[in-house]
Amino acid sequence: MKGQSMDGRLIRVRGQVQGVGFRPFVWGVARREGLVGHVLNDAEGVLVAVAGAPEALDRMARALAEEIPPLARVDAVEAVAWAVPDPAPTGFSIAASGAQGAETRVTPDAATCPACAAEIREAGARRAGYAFTNCTHCGPRYTILRGLPYDRGQTTMAPFEMCPECRAEYRDPGDRRFHAQPIACPACGPRLWYEEGGAEVAGDAIALAAARLTAGGIVAIKGLGGFHLACDATDAAAISLLRTRKRRPAKPLALMASAEVLARFARPTPEEYSLLAEPAAPIVLIGKGGGKGGGLPDGLAPGQGRLGWMLPYTPLHHLLMEAVDRPLVMTSGNLSGEPQVIGNDEARGKLGGFADGFVMHDRDIARRLDDSVERVTGAGPTVLRRARGRVPGTLPLPEGFDDAPQVLAMGGQMKAAICLTKNGQALLGHHLGELDEALTWAAYQQALEDYRELFDHRPDLVAVDLHPGYRATQAGEATGLPLVRVQHHHAHLAAVLGENHWPLDGGPVAGIVLDGLGLGADDTIWGGELLLGDYRGFERVGWLKPAPLAGGDAANREPWRNLMVRLDAAGLGDLADRLLPEAPRDVLRRAVAAGVNSPLSSSAGRLFDAFAAALGVAPGRMSYEGEAGMALEALAEGGGPAAPYPVALEGAEIDPAPMFRAWAEASEPPAIAAARFHETLAVAFAARARALVEAGRAEAVALSGGVLQNALLQDALIRHLAGVPVLLHHAVPANDGGLALGQALIGAARGI
C-alpha cells in the first residue's frame, strides 16, 4: 500500500474469541483484503489494529461478525479511529498477547471437526488412528483447563512436550492447529491402552475393547469429562447385565453411534440431527424406531417413547464406533447416586465391579462433566441437562442490568448448578446432581471454587433458595456476604425471563411454573403455580388445589400414595381400595387425617405421579426422578387429540377432583386418558394466564419448571395460548438446573 493514504481502525471484538482460532482468522481476512497492522489477545477479548482502504476496512469489520470460526461467539465488534504509526506497518502480524484476565470466555469442549475425523482415517497420515487428534476447531478445552490464562502449561496437556512437527503446526498462522493448546500426535501426546484385571493387555486398545463389547462384555471408557460404561446396545443380555451390575433397573441408558449406524435404528428429524451434529454433541432424545435395522431392546428405556442418542465426539469414540459398527450404550461411569468417575485409579476402584475391561489414557481430566441432554420440541430445541459442550458458555444479561452488582447464585438441592453474573454476562454452571450425596456435594464445592477463580469473580451479594434445609442455601449463608432469599418458583420465572432477554422494566408476566416441590412464600410446599410478576417481585394468583404428601418424602418416590390421596379427595376412596389392594391405606389415611408427616402440596409433579399410577404405568417405587411422569407422557403420545377432563375452579385454586371422577366413569383406553390429562392441565392453566394478559395485567406468558420438560404439555399450553406472547426455555433448563440463573437475576435486580 506504499504511496496510498490509509485509514486506521482499532477494532475490539468481545465474546468467545480466545482459543477458537480467531487471531489466525483475522490474519487471513487482513491478508485477503490487503490490510496491514496486527491482532492480539488481551483481557477483554481480541484487539485488532488495522490500516488500509476504507472499503477494505468495512469488509473486515463485517467479516469479524459474520465469517467467524466454528467455535467463536461474537457479542460485540467495536471500532474507533487508529492513528497509523509512521512508518506504517508493512504487513499484518499476530502479536504477543496482552494482559490476561477473566473478561474473556473459556471455550466449551467441542466435538471432533470433520477435518480431524478425516485425518485419523487417512492411511499413512501422521495421526492415522490417533485417539487424541484435535485442532483449533475441536477437542478438549474446559475439561483439561486448570487455570487462566488458557495455554498449554495451565492444562492437563502440560506434561506432554510438543514434538518438532507439532510445534511447527502450532506456530504457523496458516495451519488449523495454530495455537491449539491440546495439539498432540503419537510421537508426543497422550497414550491409549486397554486393561483387564488391573493389568495392561498388549495390542491395539480400540480393537481389544471392540472385541470385548461385541462379545457381550461391559467396558469402562475414559472420555472427556469422565468415564462411561459401555455395552452393545443391540444385546438385551448385555444391557440386563449392565443394569444388574450398576443397580439401575429402569432409568434410560444413553446411546452412541456413528451417523450411519444411527440411521439404521432411528429416524431423527432434520432439527434433531442438526442438534446431534453441533460442536457441543449433546445427547438428543429421539423417538424409538423408524430405522431400517429394526428395533432395539426395550431394556434400554423401559416404558419410554424416546431414546437418548449422541454421535461420537472424540477421535477415540470415532475409532471405537467404526470398530464395532453398532450402537453402544454409553452411560455415566459412577456408583449409584455418585458423580461420574474421572481418575484412572478411581475408575479401577469404583468401576471394577461393573466393567470387564477398561480403555485408559494418561491425559488427566481436570473437570468432571456429564454429557448434556437436549430434545427438540414443537417450539424448537431445549436443554434438559446443561453440561459438556455447553459450559462454561455465558448468557447476556437483559436490558436494564448494566449496573448490576456481581452476584453469586447457589441454585437448589436437586440438579444443582451455580450461576455468577459479571460485566453484563451470566455464567450458568454445569449440572452437578443431588447435593445430599457426599461426593456430589464435594463436586459442588469444587465447582464453586473453580468458577469463581477462573472468572475472577468477587460477588457483592449471594442469592439462595428460601428452603433452609438446602445445602446450597446453607453454603450461601456461610459466605457472610449480603444475602437475597429467593422463592423457588419466582426463580424459575426469572430464569425464563432472563433467557428471553426480558428487560428489567419490561412489565409483569404471567408465569405458569409447574414442577415437583419448592418452599412457598407462605411456608407451604408449592409446585403447580400461576405467578404474576417480574424480576423484582411476584404475586401468586393461581395454583393446583393442595393434596397431602402422605408419608412426607416417601410420596416423592411412591406414586400410589399420591393417587390414594387424590382419589380420596374426589370421593373415590372405594376405587382407591380396588386399585391399591396391597397398600397400607388405612394406616396412611389415619396419618393424613391426623396431619402426621403429611404436608399439603400443590405439586404438579405429584399430580402426574398420581395419574400415572391410576393408569398403571407408574412403578410402586420409582427408581429415578420423573419416571412416572415420563411414562405418562410416552403413553399420551399415542392418545392423539383429546378433549380435556373437567376441573373445578374455586377462587385461585384449580381442583383436579372432577378430573378423577370423570376418568373413573369414562372407561377409556389408557393412552386416551393420558392425553386427556395433559390437555386438562394445559386448558386450566392457559385459560387463567390468557385472562391476565387480556385484562392488561400481564405482558406475556412464561413457562418454566421441571414438568415443562414434557414436550406434549408444553405444546398443548402453546396451542391454548395462541395469539399471546409466550416465553420458553431453550438454552437454560426448565428444571432446577436453571434455578440459579433466576436467583442471580432477582438478586441483581434487588441490588441495582
Q: What is the largest CA-CA distance in the chain?
A: 98
Return the active site residues: 23, 41
Task: Please compute Rg for the chain using Cα positions.
Answer: 27
Q: Which CA distances in Å does 309 have to 247, 430, 432, 538, 672?
A: 22, 20, 21, 39, 28
Q: How many CB atoms lie within 10 A of CB 287?
A: 15
* One-letter amino acid of 246: K
The dihedrals phi and psi of 199, each to the nearest 5 degrees, come to: -125, 140
Q: Look up residue 706 and give its DSSP letter.
A: G
Q: Which CA distances in Å does 154 have to 111, 142, 178, 371, 635?
A: 21, 11, 17, 24, 50
Gap between the Cα atoms of 358 and 217, Å rounded: 11
Beta strands 45-52 and 36-42 are antiparallel
The sign one gets for the Cα dihedral 232, 234, 236, 240 is positive
Peptide bond into 315 cis (omega under 30): no
Q: Which of 135, 149, 51 is nearest to 455 (CA)?
A: 149
354 within 8 A of 164, measured Cβ to Cβ: no
CA 457 from chain centre, in angstroms, equals 22
Gap between the Cα atoms of 73 and 88, Å rounded: 31
Q: What is the DSSP string of 120-163?
A: TTSTT-TTTT-TT--BTTBB-SGGGB-SSS-SGGGBTTTTSPPP
The angle at the Cα of 263, spanning 260 to 266, to the nearest 5 degrees, equals 150
Q: Which of 180, 187, 192 is nearest to 152 (CA)?
A: 180
Q: Which of 220, 261, 186 is nearest to 355 (CA)?
A: 220
679 within 8 A of 673, measured Cβ to Cβ: no
Gap between the Cα atoms of 41 and 64, Å rounded: 14
284 within 8 A of 381, measured Cβ to Cβ: no
